[in-house]
Amino acid sequence: MQKVMTIAVVLFNGFELLDVFGPLEMFGMYPETFDIVMVAEQVGFVASAQGPASKVDRLFSDEIQHDILLVPGGQGTRVEVNNSTLLDWLTDQAKLAEYVTSVCTGSALLAKAGLLDGMRATGNKMNFSFVMSQGPNVNWVKEARWVEHDKFFTSSGVSAGIDMSLGLIEKVLGKEAAKQSAIWAEYDWHEDASWDPFAKIHGLV
């Protein structure tokens, strides 16, 4: 029997809306496997870059270990790369988490925390210079929809998080489960992690 895995979604002011709710739409189709919680520094509601706010379920200070971390990107990452409370929490959680994932510029936060040193990773192609600047010791992959390296799954911009989340569902539950999620959502899953037309659009390759 597949155990229930708790997904901790990191919220901060200015997070990208689809970075969070795209993947959660996919994970949420298997509630018997994935238990989703929103985690932030303070209680209350956290506003996204697009305006709508999400309610916080747990705090960093609760010191509860989670199985999967989901770190979104968004305008707020420019501020959060200097938030030692968030970075320290990521570092502590990543030690025992089974999987650590990021979407868009969320990989900049993982990189700034030192979690991606020596790892292959990617991020938003429009803001790739910012992402790379946060992790000089990371093996940044300029052309990739998402990159899997050990327990780390990092994805390109915004909608790429959906493809990455389906890749993780495949890892945990198998390919048919991932395909079924995409069918339920009427989503055209890019199963090839190397598919990335946006790297060329933004002059990275």
Q: How confident is the model at residue 3 (pLDDT cuts 50, 70, 90)?
A: confident
62: domain CATH number is 3.40.50.880
pLDDT at residue 134 in the model: 98
User: If you average pLDDT over residues 65-82, what whole number do you get?
Assistant: 98
Angle formed at CA 115 by CA 109 and CA 91, multiple of 5 degrees: 80
Coil, helix or strand at residue 179: helix
Instruction: Write the single-letter amino acid at 81.
Output: V
pLDDT digits 0-9 by tens, 99-149: 999 999 999 999 999 999 999 999 999 999 999 999 999 999 999 999 999
Which among 115, 79, 122 has a CA at the least distance from the CA of 99? 115
- Domain containing residue 169: 5-201
What pLDDT, on the 0 to 100 scale, is given for residue 123? 98
pLDDT at 100: 98
Percent of the chain with pLDDT over 90: 98
Report whether pLDDT(1) > 70. Answer: no
User: Number of folded domains in the chain?
Assistant: 1
Q: In 3D, which of 118, 86, 110, 120 has the Cα closest to residue 13?
A: 86
